[in-house]
Amino acid sequence: MPTNGLPWLYAPRNQTPRVQSQNEASNGIDSNRATHDTPTSIIERGREKEEQGRHDEAFEIPYIGIKTGEGLLVFFTLLLWWSTRDLVAESRKTAERQLRAYISVEFGQHVLQNKIVRFEFRPVVVNNGDTPASDVMIVSNLGLVSPVIPPNFNFTLPRPQIGTASAATLAAHRDKFHQVIFHRKATRDELRLIKKQQLIFHLYGTVYYKDIFKIDRTTNFSFRINVFGRRAGTFWGSSERHNEAT
């Protein structure tokens, strides 16, 4: 076709104007963006962000867990130490209770001296424990009194001191008698009242000793002794007070 001297008005059929090509390229880019910005892609990006957030939380949680775990470890360690300390203390107390010496004073016998004028009594001191008792010292007193011991009776006796009194060791499950002699002869009137049970002998005192753990222990004793005659023998009974031990 003639161009009438204006060749720029016409382009060859097999050529695309540059502007159109650029527009198509631009349209192509926009088209691609439009394709990527579909609802599905938006949801997928949201899921990716959510998973990324979970990943970040998962990264932070172990860190917090480690710190919390360390605190719990310290707490339970202290709790275990406290419980173990109490267990050791209780075990020691149990061992002391099971292994220590236990001294008691039991009923004994009497010996008549000088034709029933002088009285001697022998209570039995027994170690019922599984270990020996050391520094065993006994202080006692014997009185001739009425059958009723006054409620305000004073059981106090001076404590013996090592070096001035007899101190012995009493093995486990062994016993020994303690000799107590009335300090004077009984008169005829007293003998008559003794026979009628109007007078009795009151024997009381304290046993001092140390157990295997070097702990000071005491055992108090108090007996009311009725004497029925030379052949009838005696009757021993514990009084209402002063019969306890530590």
**Each residue's pLDDT tens digit, 168-182:** 999 999 999 999 999
Give the torsion sign (CA, 190, 243, 159, 113). positive
Specify the DSSP class assigned to residue 245: B
* Cβ contact 223:123 at 8 Å: yes
CB-based burial label for 150 (10 Å; 0-12, 13-18, 19+): exposed
* Cα–Cα separations (whole angstroms), residue 219 to 65, 99, 105, 209, 223: 60, 17, 8, 9, 13
Residue of 220, 246, 211, 216 whose CA lies nearest to 96? 211
Q: How confident is the model at residue 34 (pLDDT cuts 50, 70, 90)?
A: very low
Q: Which residue has the higher pLDDT, 78 or 30?
A: 78
The rounded distance, in Å, linking the Cα atoms of 60 and 63 is 5
Q: Report DSSP state, residue 240.
A: S
pLDDT band at 12 (very low <50, low <70, confident <90, very high): low
Compute CA 133 distance to the chain's CA centroid, rounded to the nearest angstrom.
Answer: 26
Helix (H, G, I), strand (E, B) or coil at 183: coil
Helices (H) and strands (E) in the chain, counts: 3, 9
Q: What is the pLDDT of residue 231?
A: 66
Q: What is the pTM of this model?
A: 0.64
| The predicted structure's pLDDT at residue 163 | 74
> Mean pLDDT, to the nearest integer, of 25-29?
47
| Helix or strand run (H / E) with residue 60 | helix 39-99
Does position 240 have pLDDT exceeding 50, yes or no? yes
For residue 9, the 8-state DSSP code is G
How many Cβ atoms are within 10 Å of 61's Cβ, its own excluded? 10
CATH of 103-238, one of 2.30.30, 2.40.170, 3.10.450, 2.60.40: 2.60.40
More confident: 29 or 215? 215
Distance (Å) of CA 13 to CA 16, 17, 25, 32, 242: 8, 10, 20, 28, 137
* Tokens 């001296």 belong to residue: 113
